[in-house]
Amino acid sequence: MAMYGIPVLILKEGSQRTVGREALRANIMAARALAEVLKTSLGPRGLDKMLVDSFGDVTVTNDGATIVKEMEVQHPAAKLLVEVAKAQDAEVGDGTTSAVVLAGALLRKAEELLDQNIHPTIIIEGYTKALKEALRILDEIALKVDPSDRETLKKVVTTTIASKYIGGPLVSEKLTNMAIDAALTVAEKKPDGIYEFRVDDVKIEKKKGGNVLDTQLVYGIVLDKEVVHPGMPRRVENAKIALLDAALEVEKPEITAKINITSPELMNAFIEEEARILRDMVEKIASTGANVVITQKGIDEVAQHFLAKKGILAVRRVKRSDLEKLERATGGKIVSSVRDLKPEDLGYAALVEERRVGNDKMVFVEGCKNPKAVTILVRGASDMVLDEIERSLKDALNVLRNVLRVPKIVPGGGATEIAVALKLRDYAAKIGGKEQLAIEAFASALEEIPLILAETAGLDPLETLMKLRQYHSEGKVNAGIDVINGVVREDMSSISVVEPLLVKNSMIKTAAEAAVTILKIDDIIAASPLKKEEKKEKKEEEETSPGKTSF
């Protein structure tokens, strides 16, 4: 039975296949290229990237997570790294740039080992052992902290906030304090002494205009909405709030109904009937004792008028997410039909008030039943500033969540990476064989972080590395690079550059796992790329991402 010469097609037409070492090299190259891009944005002296998407929208940032999200990465291996970076961001909200950079370094070192004819399996084995040991070392060198000690919290927040543009020490100080106050307000103390909260529990509302220093922490919920009718009160104390997912409008039939109006009397009757329905709705709401109505849907002008006459303050077209926050904050219940509204569904707040913020008006719901509701109202001259402040605040909140959850810290400025590298080399010697080389490669890859930080600080990278190794071998485990002042310091905690253990931990884990995943691939099977038009359609489908800045 001759089977020769019969082509067997298992792949779709136009697919491309790359196998073995060639595939591995191609993947390493792509992942390294991505790491190269992110490298220069690491740390407080990191440079910004300007990202222009296919619609011409521009984002300027040095936030690794944002950069990888906005970059349209093509190569599958680089995409894999992007996914990993996003996962890291979702999990701990920090250390994204470092994770990508470290993954890139691990892959570069792996390539050197491949050049020495070391099999990928050995490298993978070595890296896996190195990771396990690195995590153990990290835990050993980490310092236990008291989560209720505000000074420690300030230190960790300052380190994160310093790596973003936010305009001077006054602003940093203010945002740091605000983030801590917000976090401590929403956090729940668990029986084991650990504090827990979700970053989303702190509402961040941005309003263009004013100065960053006008940014304020509000103990309650702020809605970017106005009171709907001029005849309504602007301020209601002891607010009993109806939270509605219902329109205060007369339902229009689905299909266009044709009504023949044959006389002016009929016309009047018709209008009166509508008014009656709306008045009944308002009567029903008022009968529950509500003096504030907040709805996700619309409010008809006639209904507004009736509400105003009853002295009820009303806000319409509120975002679902805000309504849900209000539900939690005020202890009320979202009701989707006015008919079903009961007094026990009403939420409570000591004060609901419309206030002028810049050129706009916003509604403040303060003194809520549940005091764990807070909003940070961010002010700033442009959308770009607002976005960067929001990212800084999110970073700060993430860092707080991390250090409150696992109350341990490690020194920043490359100190931890040097310390772990040093101990890993000792460990490598114990393991021996070819795996030793891979573990040593892992240690060298970790040193990539201080090398880059030195460069951004204008220091000679190699000289700095030598000096740091020296200090560490003398037992100065906190020695690192003061990037802001461009000097090597024997103790990073003296300038408050410290990070939560959880971030370092997950950064190293993420990077190592990504590198190992890429090293395991020996076959790339790629479908033929989509044609231009198809791509455009796809893009349009996916276009939902908000938060971009248009110039």
Ligand X SMILES: Nc1ncnc2c1ncn2[C@@H]1O[C@H](COP(=O)(O)OP(=O)(O)O)[C@@H](O)[C@H]1O
Which DSSP string corresponds to 236-255? EEEEEEEEESS-BSPPPPSS
Residues 265-324 that bind ligand X (CB under 6 A): none
Residue 162: helix, strand or coil by DSSP? Answer: coil
Instruction: Answer yes or no whether residue 176 interacts with ligand X by CB under 6 A.
Output: no
Instruction: Answer yes or no whether residue 455 interacts with Mg ion by CB under 5 A.
Output: no
Instruction: Answer yes or no whether residue 51 interacts with ligand X by CB under 6 A.
Output: no
Residue 466: helix, strand or coil by DSSP? Answer: helix
Nearest distance from C-beta of residue 164 to Mg ion, angstroms: 8
# chain residues binding ligand X, by CB under 6 A: 23
Nearest distance from C-beta of residue 160 to Mg ion, angstroms: 5
> Angle 383-405/150-161 helices, nearest 10 degrees?
140
Instruction: Answer yes or no whether residue 94 interacts with Mg ion by CB under 5 A.
Output: yes
> Token match 């300007």: residue?
50
Residue 18 a catalytic site member: no
Using the rule CB under 6 A, give the single segment among 71-79, 89-97, 359-367, 380-388 that binds ligand X: 89-97
Residue 456 a catalytic site member: no
Of all residues in the shown chain, the one whose CB is closest to Mg ion is 94
Among 103, 451, 497, 514, binds ligand X (CB under 6 A): 497
Q: Which is nearer to Mg ion, 94 or 482 (CB)?
A: 94
Is residue 446 within 8 A of residue 106, CB to CB? The reply is no
Q: In sequence order, which residues have a C-beta less than 8 Å from that of residue 360 and are 6 or more positions away?
A: 207, 209, 224, 226
Rounded to whole angstroms, how far apart are CA atoms 353 and 355?
6
Among 499, 510, 514, 518, binds ligand X (CB under 6 A): 499
Using the rule CB under 6 A, give the single segment among 179-187, 190-198, 315-323, 475-483 that binds ligand X: 475-483
Rounded to whole angstroms, how far apart are CA atoms 164 and 274?
56
Instruction: Answer yes or no whether residue 162 interacts with ligand X by CB under 6 A.
Output: yes
The catalytically annotated residue of 40, 59, 61, 96 is 96
Residue 96 a catalytic site member: yes
Residue 355: helix, strand or coil by DSSP? Answer: strand
Using the rule CB under 5 A, give the single segment among 94-102, 203-211, 347-355, 364-372 that binds Mg ion: 94-102
Residue 65 half-sphere exposure, CB side, CA atoms within 13 Å? 18
Tokens of 475: 């037992």
Closest to 351 (Cα-Cα) out of 229, 219, 193, 440: 219
Rounded to whole angstroms, how far apart are CA atoms 242 and 323?
11
Is residue 91 within 8 A of residue 513, CB to CB? The reply is no
Q: Which does 85 bind (CB under 5 to 8 A by kind): Mg ion, ligand X, none?
A: none
Of all residues in the shown chain, the one whose CB is closest to ligand X is 412
Instruction: Answer yes or no whether residue 133 interacts with Mg ion by CB under 5 A.
Output: no
Using the rule CB under 6 A, give the single segment among 7-15, 308-316, 358-366, 482-490 that binds ligand X: 482-490
Strand partners, 334: 243
Tell me which H or E stretch contains 98.
helix 96-115
Q: Which does 120 bind (CB under 5 to 8 A by kind): ligand X, Mg ion, none?
A: none
Q: Which does 483 bind (CB under 5 to 8 A by kind): ligand X, Mg ion, none?
A: ligand X
Nearest distance from C-beta of residue 78 to ligand X, angstroms: 17
Using the rule CB under 6 A, give the single segment among 37-45, 148-156, 181-189, 300-308 that binds ligand X: 37-45
Is residue 401 within 8 A of residue 394, CB to CB? The reply is no
Q: Which is nearer to ligand X, 71 or 194 (CB)?
A: 71
Strand partners, 207: 379
Residue 385 half-sphere exposure, CB side, CA atoms within 13 Å? 16
Instruction: Answer yes or no whether residue 42 interacts with ligand X by CB under 6 A.
Output: yes
What length does the chain have?
551
Instruction: Answer yes or no whether residue 95 interacts with ligand X by CB under 6 A.
Output: yes
Q: b or e along 438-451 (b: 16 or more beta carbons within 10 Å of the residue's beta carbon)?
A: bbbbbbbbbbbbbb
Instruction: Answer yes or no whether residue 98 interacts with ligand X by CB under 6 A.
Output: yes
Q: Which is nearer to Mg ion, 94 or 201 (CB)?
A: 94
Rounded to whole angstroms, how far apart are CA atoms 527 and 264?
69
Among 413, 421, 423, 479, binds ligand X (CB under 6 A): 413
Using the rule CB under 6 A, give the single segment among 2-10, 157-165, 243-251, 368-376 that binds ligand X: 157-165
Among 28, 32, 40, 46, binds ligand X (CB under 6 A): 46
Q: Map residues 281-320 to x or -, x wherever contact with Mg ion holds by CB under 5 A.
A: ----------------------------------------
Instruction: Answer yes or no whether residue 501 interacts with ligand X by CB under 6 A.
Output: no
The catalytically annotated residue of 59, 66, 97, 330 is 97
Is residue 374 within 8 A of residue 184, CB to CB? The reply is no
The catalytically annotated residue of 395, 416, 456, 482 is 395
Residue 200 a catalytic site member: no
Residue 12: helix, strand or coil by DSSP? Answer: coil
Rounded to whole angstroms, how far apart are CA atoms 392 and 279?
48
Rounded to whole angstroms, how far apart are CA atoms 517 and 507?
15
Strand partners, 414: none
Residues of the shown chain interacting with ligand X in the complex, contacts defined by CB under 6 A: 42-44, 46, 64, 94-98, 159, 162-163, 412-413, 449, 453, 481-484, 497, 499
Q: Which residues does the annotation mark as catalytic?
A: 63, 96-97, 395
